[in-house]
Amino acid sequence: MTATTDTTATASPAGAVIKLIDVSKTYRSGSLEVAALRGVSVSIAAGEYVAITGPSGSGKSTLMHIIGCLDVPTTGSYRLAGQDVSQMSEAELAEVRNRRIGFVFQQFNLLPSMSAWRNVELPLAYAGVPRAHRRDAAMEALERVGLGDRVEHRPGELSGGQQQRVAVARALVGDPALILADEPTGNLDTASTRDALRLFGELHDAGRTVVLITHEADVAAATKRTIRIRDGAVYDDTATRPPPSRPVATMDSIVARHVSGAG
Ligand SMILES: Nc1ncnc2c1ncn2[C@@H]1O[C@H](COP(=O)(O)OP(=O)(O)O)[C@@H](O)[C@H]1O
Ligand SMILES: [Mg+2]
């Protein structure tokens, strides 16, 4: 019998767009060691909408930095779209960070002296996209987040919710397949939180993989799968609610189907 591959919920041949196996991360400063992650194994398929949740200090940001190729594991392996990240060159990593992943942070991380559209075009500038195209793409991204009438405003002239929408526009301007957001609603009021979650829902509906890091249960509830971590280890991984038409494929479920021959 030939091996079957699940083509309904996964894009990469390896099945998972994000695959961490037994990842640990230890920070060292002088003689002090902090084990921020201890043996984390997680697989996320293309197109999933996932929350990673846990208390402060549990290792969420460390995990996001590794998933986003901003940092590397101390031990264990990480494959992104089938590629071993530890084998990628600096140029490949830069390309991944600038074009394939869109980042959103709690503190928005916008440059205060630049207009909204200048902030949004930055990842494209780093990626070497021609100037004329950058402006058009930035305008389009700002339209998509409902800020078409604020493109010349600087961050200080926008509300917190609007600043986070600029940050979301910056995350999606390069049309990345993966959106990684670390506590994106942590500094937002209830109404702006709802707006931001609606945007992430739309990005997921458009086929992107969206990973939200949060310690807020109601934010996690907006996603379709919640991975819970505590003391640097995963202790629960649950479908938040049944997805409408297709099953959420985890590596385990794919392997289980192959082993059982049910394809
Ligand atoms: N750069 C660093 N150097 C040393 N310790 C760190 C560093 N970053 C995080 N830590 C420690 O690692 C643990 C996990 O931190 P973090 O991943 O930021 O957790 P969370 O995002 O869940 O609050 C904490 O104990 C934190 O103090
Ligand atoms: Mg954090």
Reduce the secondary structure of the chain to three states and give it as a string: CCCCCCCCCCCCCCCCCEEEEEEEEEEEECCEEEEEEEEEEEEECCCCEEEEECCCCCCHHHHHHHHCCCCCCCEEEEEECCEEHHHCCHHHHHHHHHHHEEEEECCCCCCCCCCHHHHHHHHHHHCCCCHHHHHHHHHHHHHHCCCCCCCCCCHHHCCHHHHHHHHHHHHHCCCCCEEEEECCCCCCCHHHHHHHHHHHHHHHHCCCEEEEEECCHHHHCCCCEEEEEECCEEEEEEECCCCCCCCCCCHHHHHHHHHHCCC
> Mean pLDDT, the chain, as a whole number?
88
Distance 114 CA to ligand 1 centre (A): 30
Residue 8 inside a domain? The answer is no
* pLDDT at residue 12 in the model: 42
pLDDT at position 126, please? 87
Question: Is 6 within the bounds of a domain?
Answer: no
Q: Does ligand 1 have an atom closer than 6 angstroms to the CB of 33?
A: no
Say if 117 falls within a structural domain. yes
* Domain span holding position 28: 18-260
234 lines ligand 1 (CB under 6 A): no
For ligand 1, atom 7: residue with the closest CA: 27
**Which atom of ligand 1 lies at the shortest distance from residue 56's CA?**
23
Q: Is residue 11 part of a domain?
A: no
Residue 30: give its domain's CATH number.
Answer: 3.40.50.300
Whether 2 maps to a domain, the answer reads no
Q: Which atom of ligand 1 is closest in space to residue 25's alpha carbon?
A: 12
Q: Tell me if 188 is assigned to some domain.
A: yes
Q: What is the pLDDT of residues 138-177, one digit of tens each?
A: 999 999 999 999 999 999 999 999 999 999 999 999 889 9
Best residue among 23, 61, 106, 235 to mutate for probing ligand 1, ranked by most atoms within 8 Å of CB: 61
Using CA positions, which residue lies closest to atom 17 of ligand 1? Answer: 59
The residue whose CA has the least distance to atom 8 of ligand 1 is: 62
Measured in angstroms, how far is the CA atom of residue 180 from the centroid of ligand 1?
18
Q: Answer whether residue 74 shows pLDDT above 80.
A: yes
Model confidence at 245, pLDDT cuts 50, 70, 90, reads low
> What average pLDDT does the segment 233-237 reach?
97
Task: Provide the whole-model pTM.
Answer: 0.85
Closest-lying ligand to the alpha carbon of 63? 1
Task: Determine, yes or no, domain membership for 77.
Answer: yes
| Total domains in the fold of the chain | 1
Q: In this structure, is residue 192 part of a structural domain?
A: yes
